[in-house]
């Protein structure tokens, strides 16, 4: 009984935790949404990992020029091979008689020295050998090494700027989705308000028809218009849900999380300052896209320098210590060795020249890309300003049209209640008002998107 009670308690605790997680919700302002996306968006996180990867690449490149210590344990067996030293005659069967021609005094002296060293003609058995070795190596000079370090640092700078670009892209996407949701939700509220008004008018007209004052065609016409509005409502609701899902994806949160936007359209519009936006100075070097091309040019210059250094010699030194654990009687290997190596490139059949030419071509391409980026940004600046001014003018026009359509609809609605106009006139006025309101919301979205594009261009998003 006690075990079942414990199991029930654990089950309820887990279910409660799951339900609490499912009910988790966020209420975010536009600025909070941007910051959350920057911290959790997977594309940005991958870009940050590339910076960490580049930092480790710098360490790897730098370590190639620092002291390297390697150890080894070598075992060798000769299978008890016998070395037979027999000098002064042919009795040994293997060594010739050094006292006979064609050997001279030098050969006989060497034979006498070896005979004295080994003392007798008894064979030497080569036993197994086991030795431990430690080798220290140090790069002394290499032009390509220093050029490689410089290139690795520039690559890290490129990765850091890619993070900034990824953050800006995510901020732009999140901002536009935020604006899209706000304007679409406002459009939904307008639709719902029209549905309520039209529903009230339909009820009033139905009562008039029952009283014999209105015709059935007036009722039918209003029902058709109301049905169209209800279909529009469902379409907008699905569109809002899709936009929320896209925003959650950019934020890196679960699709079932409840997300609420804290800002509203009126508050965002109040922050827009058209004068300062249009008169803002554009410094092309502040743009992250152009900054990336600058770093790319520096990287290609570094790579060209590295290929030019391929013609220079490379100098490396080494020291080796060998500890003989098991050895034979015949062992001439010293314990300590030191030296250096000078590697001088002489002839590579044109390979080095081809690599230098390739790097020079890459640099020329990078320089042209930089110039192209400058021209594109200057053209974008003019185009974005043009779009912003058009969007601002359209916003002001659509705002006036909406206000006018609202006054017309109110007037016709009053006349309809007095029986001075037909239901067709009322339906047409309602349709005109709804169109004007939708155009107004679209103009707001276009204005905000144009503002966002300029902010990103100015690196102010």
The CATH number linked to 418 is 1.20.1600.10
Mean pLDDT to the nearest integer, 309-316: 93
44 and 107 part of one domain: no
| pTM of the entire predicted model | 0.81
113 and 209 part of one domain: no
Q: Is residue 230 assigned to a domain?
A: yes
Please classify residue 382 by burial: count the beta carbons closer than 10 Å to its beta carbon, then call 0-12 exposed, 13-18 middle and 19+ buried: exposed
196 and 154 part of one domain: yes
Average predicted confidence (pLDDT) for the chain? 87
Q: Is residue 330 assigned to a domain?
A: no
Write the pLDDT tens digit of every residue in 75-132. 988 887 777 655 544 444 455 555 566 656 666 566 565 566 555 556 777 788 898 9
Triad 136, 142, 147: Cα angle to 5° = 125
Cα(393)–Cα(135) distance, integer angstroms: 77
288 and 164 part of one domain: yes
108 and 217 part of one domain: no
Give the pLDDT score at 279. Answer: 87
396 and 277 part of one domain: yes
154 and 283 part of one domain: yes
Structural tokens at position 173:
């996407």
Q: Is residue 319 assigned to a domain?
A: no
Give the pLDDT score at 17. Answer: 47
| Residue 44 lies in domain | 24-68+141-311+350-457
Q: Is residue 19 assigned to a domain?
A: no
Q: Is residue 326 assigned to a domain?
A: no
Q: Is residue 92 assigned to a domain?
A: yes
**Residue matched to tokens 């279909």:** 231
Q: Is the pLDDT confidence value at 398 over 90?
A: yes
Q: Is residue 12 assigned to a domain?
A: no
236 and 293 part of one domain: yes
Mean pLDDT to the nearest integer, 194-207: 90
221 and 288 part of one domain: yes
Write the pLDDT tens digit of every residue in 105-119. 666 566 565 566 555
**Residue matched to tokens 């060497």:** 110
93 and 161 part of one domain: no
Give the pLDDT score at 325. Answer: 83
Q: Is residue 74 assigned to a domain?
A: no
What is the CB-side half-sphere exposure of residue 301 using CA atoms within 13 A?
Answer: 10
Distances (CA, A) of 137 to 14, 309, 321: 60, 21, 12
Write the pLDDT tens digit of every residue in 40-76. 999 999 999 999 999 999 999 999 999 999 999 999 8
259 and 168 part of one domain: yes
Write the pLDDT tens digit of every residue in 360-384. 999 999 999 999 999 999 999 999 9
113 and 190 part of one domain: no
| Number of structural domains the chain divides into | 2
């Amino acid at each position: 009984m006690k075990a079942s009670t414990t199991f029930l308690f654990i089950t309820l605790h887990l279910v409660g935790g799951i339900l609490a997680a499912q009910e988790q919700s966020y209420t975010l302002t536009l600025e909070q949404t941007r910051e959350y996306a920057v911290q959790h968006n997977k594309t940005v996180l991958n870009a940050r990992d590339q910076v960490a990867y580049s930092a480790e690449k710098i360490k790897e490149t730098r370590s190639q020029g620092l002291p390297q210590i390697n150890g080894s344990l070598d075992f060798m067996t000769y299978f008890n091979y016998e070395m037979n030293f027999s000098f002064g005659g042919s009795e040994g069967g293997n060594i010739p008689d050094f006292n006979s021609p064609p050997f001279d005094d030098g050969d006989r002296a060497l034979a006498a020295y070896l005979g004295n060293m080994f003392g007798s003609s008894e064979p030497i058995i080569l036993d197994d050998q086991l030795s431990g070795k430690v080798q220290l190596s140090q790069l002394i000079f290499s032009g390509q090494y220093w050029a490689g370090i410089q290139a690795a640092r520039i690559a890290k700078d490129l990765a850091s700027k890619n993070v900034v670009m990824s953050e800006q892209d995510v901020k732009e996407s999140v901002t536009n989705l935020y604006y899209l949701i706000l304007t679409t939700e406002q459009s939904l509220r307008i639709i719902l308000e029209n549905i309520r008004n039209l529903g009230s008018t339909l009820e009033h007209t139905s009562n008039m028809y029952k009283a014999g004052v209105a015709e059935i065609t007036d009722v039918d016409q209003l029902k058709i218009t109301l049905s169209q509005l209800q279909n529009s409502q469902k379409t907008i609701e699905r569109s809002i849900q899709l936009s929320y899902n896209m925003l959650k994806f950019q934020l890196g949160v679960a699709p079932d999380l409840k997300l609420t936007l804290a800002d509203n359209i009126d508050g965002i519009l109040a922050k827009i300052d058209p004068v300062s936006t249009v008169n803002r100075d554009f410094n092309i070097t502040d743009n992250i896209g152009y900054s990336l091309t600058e770093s790319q040019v520096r990287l290609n210059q570094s790579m060209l320098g590295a290929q030019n250094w391929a013609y220079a010699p490379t100098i490396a030194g080494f020291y080796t210590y060998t500890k003989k654990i098991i050895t034979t009687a015949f062992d001439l290997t010293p314990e300590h060795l030191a030296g250096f190596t000078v590697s001088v490139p002489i002839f590579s059949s044109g390979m080095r020249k081809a690599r230098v030419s390739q790097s020079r071509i890459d640099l020329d391409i990078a320089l042209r890309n930089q110039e192209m980026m400058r021209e594109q940004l200057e053209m974008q600046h003019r185009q974005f300003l043009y779009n912003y001014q058009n969007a601002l003018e359209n916003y002001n026009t659509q705002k006036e049209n909406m206000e006018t359509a609202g006054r017309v609809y109110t007037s016709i609605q009053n006349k309809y209640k007095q029986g001075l106009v037909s239901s067709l006139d009322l339906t047409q006025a309602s349709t005109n008002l709804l169109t004007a309101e939708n155009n107004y919301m679209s103009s707001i979205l276009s204005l905000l998107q144009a503002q966002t594009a300029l902010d990103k261009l100015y690196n102010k998003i």
